[in-house]
Amino acid sequence: MKTLIEPFKIKSVEHIPMTTESDREKYLKDADYNTFSLRSDYVTLDYLTDSGTTAMSSRQWAQVMDGDESYAGSKSYYKFEKILQEITGFKYIIPTHQGRAAERILFGVIGDKTKVVPNNTHFDTTRGNLEFLGVEAVDLPTAIGINPEIEADFKGNIDIDALKNLIEKVGADRIPIVMITVTNNSGGGQPVSMENIRETKKLVSQYGIPLFLDCCRFAENCYFIKQREAGYQDKTIKEIAQEMFSYADGCTMSAKKDGLSNTGGFIGLNNDDWAEKAKVILIVTEGFVTYGGLARRDLEALAVGFEEVLDENYLRYRVGQVKMLGDLITGEGVPILVPTGGHAVYLDAKRFAPHIEPKYFPGQAISCAIYIKGGIRSVEIGSVMFGKTDENGNHIAPNMELVRLAIPRRVYTKSHIEYTAEAIIEVFKEKDKLRKMKITYEAPFLRHFTAKFDYI
């Protein structure tokens, strides 16, 4: 059968807000044209993020009831530890309340001002946690990885030659770990090949540098490997994940993604000394080693989530749903970053609204128009998020001007996706009406969260 179906049925429903176009014009104006400032009860379909927005299964909810809320030695922790040890092979599984806490603790163990940490592309919290300690965070994507118009299988790969040059230049003693983010979130949710991970491991081993995975979307990445990389077609997702983790010396994870839950994270480690140090920071800042800032019922939900995410029927639907949205809109000529990745569709605002220069925020204009058209929330990833102004007041634009629609896991149905595509296509047909925007207020850091906008 060719039709992609949701591999679940609905047991409990959550009503979504239905609003009119004139309501939405008012709501957006009141939010100063910033989608982060919209109340969620004014949003019909919410693609702001796929983080922590997952629908849990009835099995997960059943296990939540069975959570053992003991402070120390909870049986819920041992379930969580067992499934993660099975998948990752790491000796230590240290729970945290979300991904950035795992990063903060790991970097607190290994980082100082003299250090450099390379990655295919650092996620913003990873970069933030490194820079907070004075560590230099270096991105090493491949050339095709930063070109939105090139179709390729593994655009998330790290540039191994560039990595070798960097190690030679700064010296292995200044690089405590090398990281690879699977899938490469900031690079469009693009997968990393097993070969790239294996070759990276080979290289860094020669210098005695450990390899760490930022493995928020490890299962989605493994599904792409199974689909696209020779030699993996007959392996299970779990086997592929086990091989992938076998090349790593540790990992950090936001379980709000492929943990199929609403909160959680962990650090995986083999190094005894680092694990001891991480546990000290954990106890001081997150909680005891058998809960790490989480309710034990969350660990129960995660233990089931980590099993469910390995299900190939689920992953086929998951990756297929993202592709479906991409296909529906590209079929009508809407320009997007290709190919679609594991968790989101990115509209290419430069080609979508070429009449709006980056300094007038084309992505923001598109994101606002899609909200007004269909009550759909997306987020600009371009000049608003990463643009800078030089000393002469000139705008310095980032490489790409994108609008991201991140799809929550197991939340929306095929008709929701069709409705979303319809709204985007309508906006695209009327793209000449999109207007230039300006920022009327911005905070000194991470301005996109709280900026205010208006039309020019």
Interacting residues with ligand PLP (CB under 6 A): 51, 98-100, 123, 125-126, 181, 185, 214, 216, 254, 256-257, 265
How many residues are given for the chain?
456
Q: What is the nearest approach in angstroms of ligand PLP to the Cβ of residue 186?
A: 7
Q: Which tokens belong to 334?
A: 């809407």
CB of 227 to ligand PLP, least distance (A): 21
Which CB sits closer to ligand PLP, 155 or 256? 256
Give the residue with the Cβ less far from ligand PLP, 104 or 279. Answer: 104
Question: Which lies closer to ligand PLP via its Cβ, residue 53 or residue 367?
Answer: 53
Please, what is the minimum distance in Å from the beta carbon of residue 255 to ligand PLP?
8
Q: How far is the CB of 101 from ligand PLP (least distance, A)?
A: 7
Rounded Cα distance between 220 and 74, Å, is 30
Pairing assessment for the beta strands 344-348 and 265-269 based on DSSP bridges: unpaired
Cβ-closest residue to ligand PLP?
Answer: 99
Residue 202 tokens read as 């080979």
In the complex with ligand PLP, which residue's Cβ is closer, 220 or 308?
A: 220
What is the dihedral sign for C-alpha 398, 339, 165, 122? positive
In angstroms, the CA 224 to CA 136 distance is 31
Complex with ligand PLP: residue 49 or 242, whichever CB lies closer = 49
The beta-carbon contacts of 13-19 under 8 Å, at least 24 apart in sequence, are: 16/44, 16/45, 17/41, 17/42, 17/43, 17/44, 17/375, 18/44, 18/375, 19/44, 19/375
Minimum CB distance to ligand PLP, residue 27 (Å): 26
**Of 34 and 181, which has the nearer Cβ to ligand PLP?**
181
CB of 118 to ligand PLP, least distance (A): 15
- Compute the least distance from the CB of residue 332 to ligand PLP, in Å: 29
Q: What share of the chain is helix, strand, coil (3-state, %, to 5)?
A: 45, 15, 40
Distance of CA 195 to the CA centre of its chain: 22
The DSSP annotation for 310-341 comes to T-HHHHHHHHHHHHHHHHHHHTTT--B-SS--
Cα(311)–Cα(294) distance, rounded to whole angstroms?
A: 25
Query: Which C-beta is closer to ligand PLP: that of 34 or that of 119?
Result: 119
